[in-house]
Structure 1
Amino acid sequence: MNRLFRRFALLVLLAMTLASAVIYLTFRLLFGDPLEQIARRQAAGQIFLLEQYIDQAPADEWLPRLNKVREVSEVTLELQPLRATLSSLPSRQHEALLRGELVIDVAGKAYYRRVDTTGTRYIGSDEDVIHAGHLPIDIGEALGMEAIRFAVIALFLLVPIGWWSRRHWRGLQALSKMADDFGHGNLSARADVARSASIAPLAGRINEMADRIAALLEARKHLLHAVSHELRTPIARLEFGMELLRERHAGDDEALQRRLQAMLADVEELKALVEELLSLNQLDHAEAMPRQAFAPTPLLRACTPPQGAHEFNASIADDLGELHGDARLLARAINNLLGNAAKYAQSRITLTATRGEQLHIVVEDDGPGIPADARAQVFEPFYRLTRQADHAAGGYGLGLAIAARAIRLHGGDILIDASPLGGARFTVSI
């Protein structure tokens, strides 16, 4: 909320400052310098003396009256040459002075005016300028009043802006919390925003979107669950019927037996696929899992790749501490990674586990590796790389998806990069 309010406050203050500058320049262009007008009002008494007392004297009395004012006034009144005065004033004031107008010097707290323009007061009076100094001009007071006015207006603007920012920020926090909860699997999470809030229409759209997504995911969950369970029955019937058929034709030719055996293998693959689908479906919709403390060291030492012609090396530290989670689920994730490595390794597979701030489990192989642009996609269900080795290795593209889901449920992450052995390296951090 503070960040949002600071930005609004800074924007308002900058806008007010710019508006004040524009107003000042506009008034100066249309009506003259406002500061000079303030100074003229403050020096109105001295100007009155000049225009209504000194200037009203006959020509031979003008200088005596000027001297009388000098004696009783704190203002200094001096005569100085016109040329010297013009050189000391800004060029924009020259024409006014030459016309005989009174010119205010705000910074010097003084005014200038020609004695006359005809030379009738005394010989050479048209070449002299009367300079009044030490006038009671205090622009600082006027500027202080303007600053107070500026501060009061800013305060009355920023208070409602702060109130609005607080309500707006609370609404944004509600949306953010709802997005976090929904992203972590709580499909019932919705944004709770008052109808009067400025983001209420947005919150309503987001809640509608969440309803549709939750409905789609729930439908997908029920579909996968129903299909998987419904497939089990015909698969069991096929398996039972083929076993009876194999026993009945046990003495028949060898080709028929091989064919029956291949069909039984296909049925086993179907059973495995159904089990993988059920497992993935359960992990996808698991908002929480039973958590118990367990030691990862013996669990990892029990993990091995499928039997094959690969050299398997495991380097597992003796003290890996404890984890809180589902030991069976984590073991399945690591075995899936080892099984994936066994499909593509040429001769070597390694498993390494160390403990620092996190538990790091690394599975490597010396196979063809995984292209950098496909390393995020291999964790998607049913994703297969478009290369001959993938199809030859078999599988359904679910093993890595199940491993990634299981590791994330333990609060961990899994990354893929190139292994020094030449293949892929899977690094699990929990």
Structure 2
Amino acid sequence: MNRLFFRFFVLVLLSISAAAFIVYFTINRLFGAPLDNIARRQASAQIFLLEQYVDQAPADQWLERLNKVREVSDVRYELVPLSAVRSRLQGHEARAFEQGELVLDVDQKAFYRRVDLNGQRYIGSEEEALTASNLPIDIGFAMQLETVRYVIVALVLLVPIGFWSRAHWRSLQQLSSVADRFGAGELTARARMQPRDSVYPLAERIDHMADRIERLLAAQRNLLHSVSHEIRTPIARLEFALELLRDAADDPALSKRIDGMEGDLTELKELVNELLGMARLDAGQALQRQPFALEPALRQCMAALPPSAIPLDAELAPALGEIEADQRLLLRAVGNLLRNALKYANGAVRLSAQRADADGTVRIVVEDDGPGIPEDERERIFEPFYRLDRSRDRSTGGFGLGLSIASKAVTLHGGTLLVDASPLGGARFTLTLPS
């Protein structure tokens, strides 16, 4: 946000500077050089004496009047050959000089003019030029005046812009804070600005959007929670009915069918539990943070996994120490990652954990030698109910909620969960937790 307004002020300053140069060159093009006009005004007395006193004299008195001006003026007047002046002038100044116009040299504080184009002043005057040096020209003072003028203009423009930008910036900062809080899960965050605020129309639309999102999410959570709870009742009834049916069944084929039905019920119960867990995480459940030893907790998590033919290799650093977190929720996230790895691995799964010496960050890695995850789908696997290969749903089990729950649990702890390719050949999940 600060960068935005810094760029805005730089743009305003550059625009004022560009406008000053454009004004200068426009005036120079249309009315002559501004500095030349200033210098001409400062030397107006000497120019007036030349044009209205010396030049108005009869031809036989021209030199006499010039000498009288020399006696009473501090300006040094000299008659020099045309070649001496022509070597000093170039471009439009040289052309103006050849036409008999008075040419100012601001840097040298002098002016030049041909004495006469036709030799009417005196014999040979058309071959001479009149130079006046030591003119009372002070461009430095004029430049200071121009600088002060432009500074005043810049301040008159920048001060109101600064006050407006400050109010605008504070409003945008408020919107940014609301967006951060809303994105962090505080769904009640609103801007609630006054109609006089500069960004009120935008804030009003953001508040309306936040209201609608809050209502939709609340309705979704309530529906998910209610449905999950309501499903438990018929599931319990079905379990009871299946137990009664098993006791009364003598046919082996019927018993096998009952076993299949009980498996479906177990799967349904797991789905309900996952949905309830997801609902609690989405509701931003409070973490029960307590310090606990990380290494034995991870080994306990490994021991709680269902039996598997695939070996699970553990590489836990000896100096993991303790971590303050919600042990149940964190171990559930790690357990979901391990179950996912065991589900798709071909013959090897590895769990490793280490703590960074610099900042104490804990890094837990779960990797396998399975088919891996395509790079373009590595972000989507954390979405609820998303599965890479739907043809394996029945063979591998699961509902596409495990990785989503793991990601939400890690996020609640302020950590990150990333996936990339493993050196084993499959997928590697990296769980990073702050100290």
Give the shorter-chain TM-score range: over 0.9
Q: Which runs of 5+ in 1 are unaligned?
A: none
Q: Deviations over 1:310-356 (max 9, x none)?
A: 21222223332322221111111111111111211222222111111
Counterpart of 1:271 (choices 269, 275, 281) is: 269
- RMSD over aligned CA atoms reads 1.8
Pick which of 380-389 and 109-118 moved more: 380-389
Pick which of 210-219 and 416-425 moved more: 416-425
Structure 2 distance, partners of 1:321, 1:169, is: 46
Structure 2 distance, partners of 1:12, 1:303, is: 61
Counterpart of 1:424 (choices 411, 422, 427) is: 427
Distance 1:9 1:375, change over 3 A: closer
Determine the structure 2 residue equivalent to 1:382: 385
Structure 2 distance, partners of 1:243, 1:349, is: 38
Paired residues of 2:78 and 2:130 also in contact (CA < 8 A): yes
Matched, 1:168 2:168: yes
What's the secondary structure of 2:87's corresponding residue?
helix
Q: Which runs of 5+ in 2 are unaligned?
A: none
Deviation, structure 1 residue 71 = 2.6
Structure 2 distance, partners of 1:33, 1:26, is: 9
Moved beyond 6 Å, runs of 4+: none
The amino acid across from 1:362 in the alignment is V
Counterpart of 2:300 (choices 276, 299, 302) is: 302
Structure 2 distance, partners of 1:324, 1:2, is: 36
Deviation, structure 1 residue 75 = 0.8
Structure 2 distance, partners of 1:135, 1:244, is: 123
Structure 1 distance, partners of 2:23, 2:375, is: 61
Determine the structure 2 residue equivalent to 1:413: 416
The amino acid across from 2:67 in the alignment is N
The amino acid across from 2:175 in the alignment is L
Structure 1 distance, partners of 2:166, 2:322, is: 43
What's the secondary structure of 2:386's corresponding residue?
coil
Structure 1 distance, partners of 2:282, 2:366, is: 24
Deviation, structure 1 residue 83 = 3.5
Within a 5 Å distance, the mapping from 1:251-266 to structure 2 comes to 252-266=250-264
What's the secondary structure of 2:400's corresponding residue?
coil
Matched, 1:78 2:81: no
Distance 1:104 1:297, change over 3 A: same
Paired residues of 2:315 and 2:353 also in contact (CA < 8 A): yes
Deviation, structure 1 residue 390 = 4.8
Deviation, structure 1 residue 37 = 1.5
Q: Deviations over 1:90-147 (max 9, x none)?
A: 2202333233222222222111122222212211112211111110011111111000
Pick which of 33-42 and 96-105 moved more: 96-105
What's the secondary structure of 1:88's corresponding residue?
coil
Say how many residue pairs are matched: 428
Structure 1 distance, partners of 2:261, 2:216, is: 36
Counterpart of 2:369 (choices 350, 360, 366) is: 366
Within a 5 Å distance, the mapping from 1:33-52 to structure 2 comes to 33-52=33-52
The amino acid across from 1:415 in the alignment is L
Paired residues of 1:185 and 1:287 also in contact (CA < 8 A): no
